[in-house]
């Protein structure tokens, strides 16, 4: 099982990209008052039919031809259930898929969120063909990171340029520090 939720987020986003998504939205809502942590990954990929969406958390079901098991969603479902939470999958063929993982925020078994800066940065730099929106709320504080205006501003300069990577790292890291009051 993965040891931090950021790795589950990375896995789900990579699934989205493998399904042809050109836009992946990652939302994290930390509501300590309601004692909930919600992670939602939505994409505009191929989507799944109702039967595939229902079977997606079965470790012995996968649509991939390169392997016979798919453990990402089953492990995430297990992580939610161990933390007094749940996992839902909404999908439609030709529209996309949304995976929502809910956790009890304070639960002893809830994995730490992990390194979201490098998770988002790795997705953005490693997948220049796609756009990403990352929204993160912690209580009343909120920030949004969207690659579309950044790409527009950069023009022909790729996101993989060292000075761009450093700018993106600072932008995400500083924004996370602000919403956590650090």
Q: Using one digit for the tens of pLDDT, what is the confidence trace for 92-139? A: 999 999 999 999 999 999 999 999 999 999 999 999 999 999 999 999
Distance CA 44, CA 111 (A): 28
Sorted by sequence, the CB contacts under 8 Å of residue 23 that are 6+ apart come out as: 43, 44, 130, 131, 132, 133
pLDDT of residue 32 exceeding 80, the answer is: yes
Rg (alpha carbons) of the chain, rounded to whole number: 16
Q: pLDDT band for position 49 (50/70/90)?
A: confident
Domains and CATH numbers, the chain: 5-179 (3.30.565.10)
For residue 147, give the 3-state DSSP assignment.
helix
Q: Which helix (H) or strand (E) holds 143?
A: strand 141-146
Tell whether the model's pLDDT for residue 42 goes beyond 80: yes
Q: Is 77 exposed, middle or buried (0-12, 13-18, 19+ CB in 10 A)?
A: buried
Q: pLDDT by residue (tens digit) across 138-174?
A: 999 999 999 999 999 999 999 999 999 999 999 999 9
Give residue 145's pLDDT.
97
pTM here is 0.91
Read off the pLDDT of residues 74-88 as tens digits, 9 standing for 90 and up: 899 999 999 999 999
User: Taking a C-beta distance cutoff of 8 angstroms, is the pair 109, 3 a contact?
Assistant: no
**For residue 67, what pLDDT band results from cuts at 50, 70 and 90?**
very low
Share of the chain above pLDDT 90, in %: 82
């Amino acid at each position: 099982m993965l040891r931090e939720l950021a790795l589950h987020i990375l896995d789900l986003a990579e699934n989205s990209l493998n399904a042809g998504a050109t836009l992946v939205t990652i939302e994290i809502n930390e509501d300590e008052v309601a004692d909930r942590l919600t992670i939602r990954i939505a994409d505009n990929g191929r989507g799944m039919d109702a039967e595939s969406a229902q079977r997606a958390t079965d470790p012995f079901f996968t649509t991939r031809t390169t392997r016979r098991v798919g453990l990402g969603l089953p492990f995430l479902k297990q992580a939610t259930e161990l933390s007094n939470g749940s996992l839902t999958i909404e999908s439609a063929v030709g529209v996309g898929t949304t995976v929502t993982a809910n956790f009890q925020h304070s639960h002893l078994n809830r994995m730490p969120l992990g390194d979201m800066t490098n998770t988002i940065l790795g997705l953005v730099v490693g997948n220049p063909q796609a756009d990403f929106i990352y929204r993160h709320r912690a209580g009343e504080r909120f920030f949004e990171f969207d690659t579309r205006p950044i790409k527009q501003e950069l023009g022909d300069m790729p996101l993989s340029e060292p000075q761009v990577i450093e700018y993106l790292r600072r932008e995400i890291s500083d924004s996370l520090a602000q919403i956590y009051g650090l």
